[in-house]
Amino acid sequence: MLAPLWALKIGFCAATVLLAQAATAQALKLETVASGLQNPWAVAFLPDGSYLVTERTGTLRRVERSGTVLAPLAGVPPVAVGGQGGLLDLALDSDFANNRTLYFCYSEPDSNSGNTNSTALARAKLADDGKSLIDVKVLFSQLPKVASSAHFGCRIVESRSAGQSDGLLFLALGERYSRKEDAQKLDNHHGKIVRIGKDGRVPANNPFNTPDHRKAGALPEIWSYGHRNPQGLVLSPAGSLWEHEHGPQGGDEVNLVQAGRNYGWPVITYGENYGGGKIGAGITAQPSMEQPVHYWVPSIAPSGMVFVTSHRYGKDWVGNLVVGSLKFGYLSRLEMTEPYGGKLQRETKVPVEVGDRVRDVRQGPDGLLYLITDSPKGRLLRLVPGA
């Protein structure tokens, strides 16, 4: 299959940090908020205007409004650092201002074996002085643990019903690369999105939490399956769950995730084996398996994703889905046929400096987009309208 024109790689000048947006007739520029972060992975916005940033090295740091990067917080549990593993996603509780609760996921080592690990989700509170995590509790551990340093997935979303938190969390999980066939099986957590309570309980209405499914060996936490390596997860203002995942060589996907659905990996894919060659039967569709809303060939290596709800970039941006690219160092702005949904209408690439891998994208309380660049000297950047 020929790559669509919108998917072809475009080279950008390293000095170019301005992009004229035809749709909004305004320029955009990137401002550095903080630098010197070691392979940062996720950012969250604290009520006082400062930031929390995870680093894949296993450290969690607070960044002051001025951009000063403070010492690592104490209280982070042991992390299996290596390859793609480390301290990964971070999400503040919707009532953080009152309860100081946050959630984070990471590659969790096996306490009984030094070479196996899996993705875990933990809850904690940020101490009043902002220097440590307290009351840390692991809510979920992916099973089984395997010897792998790849495909941890690890994105967190707090669920809502009628616009209010319903006390539940979604967690996206990779299939650990060497266990891709597991993504089609319900007796494990590899290549799944799971849904659990903020206290770790399993909701009674999860799609596979039924007597028949449990009897057949299905794990009750599973919400959807057939995923590869999800590194984007977001809930739209309308309450729909959106995910993106890495394809192998081509076939990165954006999916509208629904309860109990099968998203196909590795049976169907728009990608191919590294180095070339079909995966399985080399098919892209099969009955009972969901098609992506959008896919990229060649891969852009997506990471981070957010729906734009503010008018800071003009009304044309409202409802757009913005995705970071690790491979090409840009933001992919996906305009849909409907705000926060529908089919893809147009893709626009917002360049970042060449060499900067975009790991996370969030909308801040000020309505602006913030992104994290993944490198040993990573940065927290802010995208602002130009003059």
In this structure, which amino acid lies at residue 154? C
Q: Cα(282)–Cα(276) distance, rounded to whole angstroms?
A: 11
Q: How far is CA 106 from the centre of its chain?
A: 13
Max CA pair span of the chain: 62
DSSP-assigned states of every residue in 224-289: EE--SEEEEEEE-TTS-EEEEEE-SBS-EEEEEE-TT-B--TTTB-S-B-TTS--STT-BS--TTB
Whether the CB-CB separation of 34 and 69 falls below 8 Å is answered with yes
Q: In what order do the strands lie in the sheet with 87-92?
A: 87-92, 101-110, 113-126, 133-141
CB atoms within 10 A of CB 367: 12
Burial class (CB in 10 A: 0-12, 13-18, 19+), 32: exposed
Please identify every residue annotated as catalytic: 151
Q: Which two tokens stand for residue 123?
A: 């809850």
Q: Which two tokens stand for residue 40?
A: 């940062």
In Å, how far are 61, 146, 252, 298 from 274, measured between CA atoms?
36, 22, 14, 12
Q: Cα(186)–Cα(181) distance, rounded to whole angstroms?
A: 11
